[in-house]
Amino acid sequence: MTTVNNNPVIREATTEAPVLEAVDVTKHFALHGVRAHGRGKVVHAVENVSLALHSGRITALVGESGSGKSTLARLLAQLYPITSGEIRRHGTPVRVKGGKAFRKYVSAVQLILQDPFGSFNPVARINVTLMRAVKIHHRGASKAQRQQIIDDLLTQVNLVPPRQYTEKFPHELSGGQLQRVSIARALAADPEVFLADEPVSALDVSIRLGILNLLRKLTDERDVALLYVTHDIASARYFAEHTAVMYAGEIIEYGPSEEVTQRAAHPYTRLLIDSAPDPSRPEGEDRLSDVGQPPSLIDPPSGCRFHPRCPLAVERCRVQSPPRFDLESGHGARCWLYGDDEDAAAHRAHARELPGMTGVLRTGRRADLEPDGDR
Ligand code: SF4
């Protein structure tokens, strides 16, 4: 039996209080100079999203480009003001706009960006960059102590011996080495949260695993909460305990990573999995591209935002936005297929009839999507 949950904070099944959470967060960006019906138009980048991050846990936030996942990470980092909702740290709403409060906040909540080359001063040696961070976060330390802290940070990210790296310029390091330095810089603040925005997607495939393993190790050893923003749902299964899938500014599926990736409930998640890089798939086959492009967030589709691309859409999907239906084991999805009413049962029956949908339905979360009939 499913339960309807209109807007819960999506959290892991733990009694531990979250370190950082977004509660019903919405972000609209104004489009300056664009008006319709006398009103300014906005980009609906993030819509009523709730997500909780816990110490020592990794949460993956997965979606295509433009789904709002990076915007959500920046909202959690307080780089943009939210339009509505709350960002809570240890249960207390926080809004910092600059000055001392902002500096204190970013010490605790560190953002790691996709492109390590873009986040370094190209004419400053690594030691100079790290020393700046160490000076900010270790004010009482002597010069010798600061240098020791830099050596320790580089050792923690497996850049050893550290002095082999401190005198180099960013262009003298590989992408993987530079991403390790950016993680070391983030560690200088001794944060309790890492917001890693596509931390490996700009790197060579061969070194991605090393960086993910490093982030895993640091999460465990330092008991930090890590948000892993990625378009690669396959890596979410490997790397994160918990996965939330974002589409067109909304979280449409969430739960333990094993559940979400192995028994995906939402048709979008299923297509995302089917479109993940797979050497065994015939070249050119990409089920997600086959169903069109993501919608405009200036005028998002009515009802379920995925309906223009969804092979299982019915009339209800076009007019009514689905709530979140909790399934089992902390797994849930925003899709009318998981409703308990007669319309949902008819919807499931209709879905079973569709040619070519077997792959989607048979791997669906609910057994009643199997051809055997309703539970
Ligand atoms: Fe598809 Fe309808 Fe479910 Fe949206 S609510 S994902 S359109 S079946």
DSSP conformation letters of 306-341: TGGG-TT--HHHHHS---EEE-STT-EE--GGG--S
**pLDDT at residue 362, rounded to an integer:** 37
Which token pair is 84?
């509505």
Ligand 1 near 337 CB (within 6 A): yes
Q: How many CA atoms lie within 13 A of 66 on its CB side?
A: 9
**pLDDT at residue 374, rounded to an integer:** 37
Does residue 258 sit within a domain?
no
- What are the beta bridge partners of residue 25? 49
Find, among 230, 247, 373, 245, the residue nearest to 309 by Cα.
Answer: 247
Q: How many CA atoms lie within 13 A of 232 on its CB side?
A: 18
**pLDDT at residue 3, rounded to an integer:** 47
- pLDDT bin (cut points 50, 70, 90) of residue 357 is low
- Kindly state the percentage of the chain with pLDDT values over 90: 65
Residue 148 near residue 231, CB atoms below 8 Å = no
Which token pair is 321?
């936005």
From edge to edge, which strands make up the β-sheet containing 92-93? Answer: 39-53, 20-36, 84-89, 92-93
The Å distance, Cα 297 to ligand 1 centre, comes to 18
Does residue 256 sit within a domain?
no
- Measured CA to CA, the distance from residue 161 to residue 152 in angstroms comes to 10
Indicate the average pLDDT of the chain. 87
Q: Pick the residue whose CA is nearest to atom 6 on ligand 1.
A: 335
Does residue 357 sit within a domain?
no
Pocket test for ligand 1, best of 270, 291, 305, 310 (most atoms within 8 A of CB): 310
Find, among 108, 317, 300, the residue nearest to 192 by Cα.
Answer: 108
Nearest ligand 1 atom to the CA of 314 is 2
Does residue 302 sit within a domain?
no
Ligand 1 near 304 CB (within 6 A): yes
- The pairs formed by 206-212 with CB atoms below 8 angstroms and a separation of 24 or more are 207/174, 207/175, 207/176, 208/235, 210/176, 211/176, 211/179, 211/180, 211/183, 212/238, 212/239
Does residue 161 sit within a domain?
yes
Does residue 321 sit within a domain?
no
pLDDT at residue 359 greater than cutoff 70: no
More confident residue, 317 or 352: 317
How open is the CA angle 304-305-307, to the nearest 5 degrees?
A: 70
Ligand 1 near 120 CB (within 6 A): no
Does residue 125 sit within a domain?
yes
Does residue 55 sit within a domain?
yes
Q: Residue holding tokens 């709350």? A: 86
Residue 116 near residue 202, CB atoms below 8 Å = yes
Give the helix ranges, DSSP H, for 109-204.
126-137, 143-156, 163-166, 175-187
161 upstream amide cis, omega within 30 of 0? yes
| Total domains present in the chain | 1
Pocket test for ligand 1, best of 266, 271, 312, 319 (most atoms within 8 A of CB): 312
pLDDT at residue 240 greater than cutoff 60: yes
Pocket test for ligand 1, best of 304, 314, 321, 347 (most atoms within 8 A of CB): 304
Ligand 1 near 334 CB (within 6 A): no
- Measured CA to CA, the distance from residue 6 to residue 13 in angstroms comes to 18
**pLDDT at residue 118, rounded to an integer:** 85
Q: Of 1-5, 34-38, 89-93, 344-348, give the lowest mean pLDDT range.
A: 1-5
pTM of this structure: 0.88
Which token pair is 341?
């009413």
- Measured CA to CA, the distance from residue 101 to residue 148 in angstroms comes to 28
CATH of the domain at 95: 3.40.50.300
Which token pair is 72?
């959500």
pLDDT at residue 11 greater than cutoff 90: no
Ligand 1 near 245 CB (within 6 A): no
Find, among 89, 116, 84, the residue nearest to 196 by Cα.
Answer: 116
Helix axes 143-156, 126-137, angle to 10 degrees: 110
Structural domain for 163, as ranges: 18-247
Residue 109 near residue 88, CB atoms below 8 Å = no
Residue 101 DSSP one-character state: H
At residue 359, φ and ψ (nearest 5 deg) are: -60, -35
Q: Pick the residue whose CA is nearest to atom 5 on ligand 1.
A: 335
Nearest ligand 1 atom to the CA of 322 is 5
Find, among 220, 219, 239, 241, the residue nearest to 230 by Cα.
Answer: 239
Residue 235 near residue 224, CB atoms below 8 Å = no
